[in-house]
Amino acid sequence: MTDEGYLLDNRVAAAGDRFTALAQLFDPVTLRHVDALGITSGWRCWEVGAGGPSVPDALAERVGPTGEVLATDIDTSWLPDGAGYEVRRHDVGAEAPPNGPFDLIHARLVLVHVPHRAAALEAMMSVLRPGGWLLLEDADPALQPRLCPDETGPAEVLANRLRSGFRELMAARGADLAFGRTLPRLLRAAGLQDVQADAYFPITSPACAALEAATIAHIRDGLVTAGLATQAELDEHLTNVATGTLDLATAPMISTWGRRPS
């Protein structure tokens, strides 16, 4: 995947707001899984498609000075230097993986956007330590397609139509909108053991409103150019979001984990 192929470009100013909202919504889920896998001092971890610093920071705190954390992304603009972990520009679907082995490899909301998903998974598997854990978390918008599950009025109808337009733009960029549900099967096929999965999505949260506003800032020109919305409709939607009276949801995030045989 190239920078130009990714709909939600990290270089856009709204990316920082998206990363903050995503961290508020999903970091507790991610770190609950990380802790359950037994992360401890001395582990070597690879955070794939890190985006913002919240997960690399948390991993670095857990592995301590005797461990290592590598955070990679196709655009590292939001990853600070000197934060206690290594930052590297890297395209997981097109480039050779970093030198392993790693005790934990984690990717959140990454592979759904990567056209060469099989190559990315193979790259991660190739540097996973025997006995090490792969934790993949990805969205499945097809499982829950609405922004407002409780569609009760014109504001919710507009919100759901715009969410449909967002999915159309994602699909045009190569996103697999039913990818999340395939993760357990893919991890088993890759030879991992003890594969388990669960799903999470908030139905209403202030962070959902912040995420929606930042997402619209990212994609509004694309929606208008594609004829999926007008500027007036987008302004109306953002006004509705700002009232705090809409119950805004996300697509389910499916967390799947498995262990490489020892």
Ordered mean pLDDT values, 10 residues apiece, the chain (262 residues): 49 76 96 98 97 96 98 92 91 94 97 89 97 97 95 97 95 90 97 98 95 93 96 98 96 97 93
- Report the candidate in 254, 242, 166 with the shortest Cα–Cα distance to residue 208: 242
pTM: 0.93
Q: What are the C-alpha distances in Å from 139 to residues 11, 12, 47, 79, 170?
A: 22, 22, 17, 23, 12
Residue labelled with tokens 């407002």: 148
> What's the CA gap between 195 and 225, in Å, rounded?
42
The DSSP 8-state label assigned to residue 5 in this structure reads: G
Per-residue DSSP letter, 43: -
The pLDDT score that the predictor gives to residue 11 is 58
Residues 205 and 211: their CA atoms lie apart, in Å, by 10
Q: Which amino acid is at 21?
A: A
β-pairing, 68-73 vs 193-200, is unpaired
Residue 175 DSSP SS3: coil
The pLDDT of residue 60 is 97
- The domain defined by 3-259 carries CATH number 3.60.150.10: no
Angle, in degrees to the nearest 10, between helices 206-225 and 154-172: 60
Q: Can you give the pLDDT at residue 4?
A: 43
Residue 137 forms beta bridges with which residues? Answer: 108, 255
pLDDT at 113: 84
Beta strands in 90-167 (DSSP E): 102-108, 128-139
With H, G, I as helix, E, B as strand and everything else as coil, classify residue 169.
Answer: helix
Q: Which residues of 217-242 are buried (b: 16+ CB within 10 A; e: fewer)?
A: bbbbebbeeeebbeeebbebbeebbe
The confidence score (pLDDT) of residue 8 equals 59
CB 206 within 8 A of CB 121: no
